Amino acid sequence: MQLFDTARQEVVPFEPRGGRVGIYVCGITPYDSAHLGHAFVYHVFDVLHRRFRDAGLGVRSVRNVTDVDDDILRVARERGVDFRALATEQIRMFDHDMAEIGLLPVDAAPRATEHVEEMVGWIVRLVDDAYAYAVGGWVFFDSGVYPDYGRLSRLDHSTMIELSRERGANPDDPRKRHPLDFVLWQASAPGEPSWPSPWGQGRPGWHIECTVMSTGALGHPIDIHGGGDDLIFPHHESEIAQAEAAGVAPYVRHWSHVAMVNHEGEKMSKSLGNLVFVRDLVRRVPGAAVRLLLASHHYRTSWTYDDHEVDAAAARHRRYVAAMQGGGTLSHEAAHAHEQRFFERLDDDLDTPGALDELDAIAAELSSGRTGAAPGTEGQQLLGRLLGVLGAETEAVPA
């Protein structure tokens, strides 16, 4: 497979090690329902998982849960519930929504609150090695002693400062030695959850959570690490810094990032409130049709949600079902050629739109009334298998 690597900024061969692939995807902060932007990211890594599995590779997939966070605590206060109860309920709903659109279960879904002790140990090492410093119960990573900060994102210093400010950090915090220093540990405010540490009661910063949980679940180097492309900076940039500073190098072999889904002129996000919820889509069309909608967009190209696309995906799903029910056959030669072209498209930087074009051609041939020369290969078997690789399994009704 040829796959774009964010760190190298080019499409490169992805080489499995020992017949196995470890995939870590940054997961949800569980305080609201799953939306189409979530679905697009996790669909992409699910297709990668399925493609590797189809090729005979063993896959271990990990998707963390950030279950202690300013947003969870805020929403829990607003609703008058315990933050743990809020997280548990939102995780249950998220898992249900993702199952509705056919995502494979992950092999591990570590929660941040279950690994705080390991995070404290990691931060202690960074402080001891002078890569981090404590101020008033807070601990910051010292970007001034890590010269490669910015290597993944390839952003200049001023741009990183502005993005840091836009994405929830505070480069003007007077406790920081440098504007790009980031939080490893923070003192808990009264009434907030807290854990013991050498710096007092507090809770971990966001970035340290993923570094600890990813290496804990997969070892290192991690074969593929990714998420939405809004995580490149500062989240993944900071993950690399604190991992390498702690002696974990290389941390990741291949970085994969998924473009944003837009709606109403902006990136789809909870903060903007312009969400299209997965649960609403699956009430309207089959989950397989939602997967076809997602697969019609290349993972590295940002796109704008259009309600008409849902109808088009549903129509495509109906064409596939009709083709599978029609009893048409393909010759072995034709079936092999279609299958080869399908996987050529997927293996060319996960070109799911191109793979769908090939499925359209198979469905059209099966529905044309022509049958392949005996002995034939049933179209249902071929089309059904390839749809399964895209996570859009469709049951054909026996004729």
In our burial notation (b when 16+ CB lie closer than 10 A, e otherwise), range 221-249 reads: bbbbbbbbbbbbbbbbbbbbbbbbbbebe
* Mean pLDDT within 142-162: 97
Place 379 in a pLDDT band, splitting at 50, 70 and 90.
confident
Which SS3 state, helix, strand or coil, does residue 141 take?
A: strand
Question: Is the pLDDT at 110 greater than 90, yes or no?
Answer: yes
Task: Tell me the percentage of the chain whose pLDDT exceeds 90.
Answer: 87
What is the per-residue pLDDT for 369?
A: 63
Q: Rounded distance, CA 362 to CA 357, Å?
A: 9
**For residue 73, what are its two tokens?**
């605590």
What is the per-residue pLDDT for 398?
A: 37
For domain 18-112+259-305, give the fold: Rossmann fold (3.40.50)
Question: Is the pLDDT at 366 greater than 80, yes or no?
Answer: yes
* Mean pLDDT within 324-331: 84
Question: Is the pLDDT at 183 greater than 80, yes or no?
Answer: yes
Residue 353 near residue 7 (C-beta atoms within 8 A): no
Structural domain spans, the chain: 18-112+259-305, 306-389
Which architecture, in CATH terms, is 306-389? Up-down Bundle (1.20)
pLDDT digits (tens, 9 = 90+) for 335-361: 999 999 999 999 999 999 999 999 999
What is the per-residue pLDDT for 370?
A: 57
- Other beta carbons less than 10 A from residue 250's beta carbon: 12
pLDDT digits (tens, 9 = 90+) for 223-237: 999 999 999 999 999
**For residue 20, what are its two tokens?**
């196995």
Question: Is the pLDDT at 396 greater than 80, yes or no?
Answer: no
In this prediction the pTM is 0.94
- Choose among 356, 334, 355, 333: nearest CA to 343: 355
- DSSP assignment letter at 234: I
Which SS3 state, helix, strand or coil, does residue 395 take?
A: coil
